[in-house]
Chains A and B, each alone.
Chain A
Amino acid sequence: MKIIVCVKQVPDAKDVRLDPKTNTLAREGVQSIMNPYDQYALEEAVLLKEQLGGEVTVLSMGPPQAVDVLRQAISLGADHGVLVSDRAFAGADTWATSYTLAKAIHKIGDFDLILCGKQAIDGDTAQVGPGLAIQLDIPFVTCIQKVREASESELVLERMMDDGYDVVAVSLPVLLTVVKDLNIPRIPSLKGKMKAKKAEFKILSAEDIGADSACIGLAGSPTQVVSVFPPPPRGERAVLTGTVEEQIEQLVEKIAVYL
């Protein structure tokens, strides 16, 4: 089975703090990590490869240093990594991102299965997976919590819903987005780490993937961010005083409107 996993490099949430003085995201000491949901997508790809044979390619769009997440993916069992990187992609919204990833996938070649995370923890939209499936003209199923059965031709899956879950069957090729419940990602093995160290990655530009300049970056993005501002500040924490019992009494009064 030929599997492509889309992985995004994102700033680690524990470093993402809004500087209250400047109202900007802190830039110092911000570590980049593989988007948490993508780790479950990668693990599932490797599990399927172990079960059914085949190969796993990881694909990322981002700045040159995004090869770090590709390298990490190799240590976790991926076979190949491809980075699409070009200043021309800057400012891409989810439409332009989906278009660019689709073009890169056409360049990579055949596939049976595409896996994405449910959403990236920075942009937070959960729109790239479905968009990419449309661009590739294949069906998609989002929020997969379990792979019940897998064969070369068909998958039986559980998709998480707000009030329960649906069990669906779909033949390949298909694109899936995954949630955390799916599996427990492995720790890199020593062999994996060695492989990752030596791994080389294909880096593709806009021209390499044959992208139309009107469909990438800012020009290819139907949405446009016009302003960015901090969330409304939370009020000061009200101080409850006295014994614990007295505090609880005050609390009940304060929250009485909701009860």
Chain B
Amino acid sequence: MQQAVGGSEAVVTTLGPSPMLRCEGLRKRYGDRLAVDGVTFSIAEGECYGLLGPNGAGKTTTISMLCGLAVPDEGDITVDGFEGGTLEAKAAVGYVPQDLALYPDLSAVENLTFFGQLYRLSGKELQTRIGETLELVGLADRGKDRIGTYSGGMKRRANMAAGLLHRPKLLVLDEPTVGVDPQSRNAILETVGKLGIAVLYTTHYMEEAFKLCDRIGIIDDGHLIAEGTADALIGDHGGRDKVHLSCDGADLDELAAACRELENIHDVHEVDGNLELSTDHGPAVLSAVVAVATRHGVDLTGVEVRSPNLEDVFLSLTGKELRD
């Protein structure tokens, strides 16, 4: 499933014959900074694809090119079979920008009316869609209020409504949950979860990508450095489970040596006066580890098992923390 990015034959194995979105070798330069450098990925119909990366990784730049807001210096984009940037491609995309892009002086309904008209919706159909979409994002009762009077989370939801109104085949969400309260955040995630259309979701919250996305691409410094399902990425790059033993003032050397003797323990090292063990399956070794500690008269004040996550994947791939 998971593959190193760059091998284009690997991409083909993951995708159906006609993906909703296909980007190949995207490159974008701003001055002498390569914001996006050779990004290739595809999204199948109905698939939720997460683009996970830190600040400045090139997520927004990639999205701008997909939505026809920026012209790639190199590379090809196809949306629903149409060349990126054409009116047909634009019509197929629902773009939800990172920053609020609605008119604060107008109400949600007025904003949606305008954006709906831009996508050639009108009359009764437009009115129905506006009602449905506001319902979907949980703003049905605030539709008549000006966007300027909304809370931050409500603004984000309204922003998303503007991208969903014309029922796009591909929804592009640029960090829709940044700076959003947990309630709105859940509402947004829930909405995206039940859409069933192709979604490109950028975020630097690994939990979101993990929960929401069928596949995840990890982007850093303009490069897509890995791609696959969350499980595959973690399996391949996340490393092993960690068992953390807090042991106050004990003789660690002796305990460490004893732990190394245990089966399925790959590595033992000291961290700040405590021990950390690497293992393939943390819970399985736990009882043996505790028994060894007891035998050596070490008083364990805490035991913690931690499975690897996407954060570890990023760390192992780049040597950097995802969030700085």
A binds B: no
- Chain A interface residues toward B at CB < 8 A: none
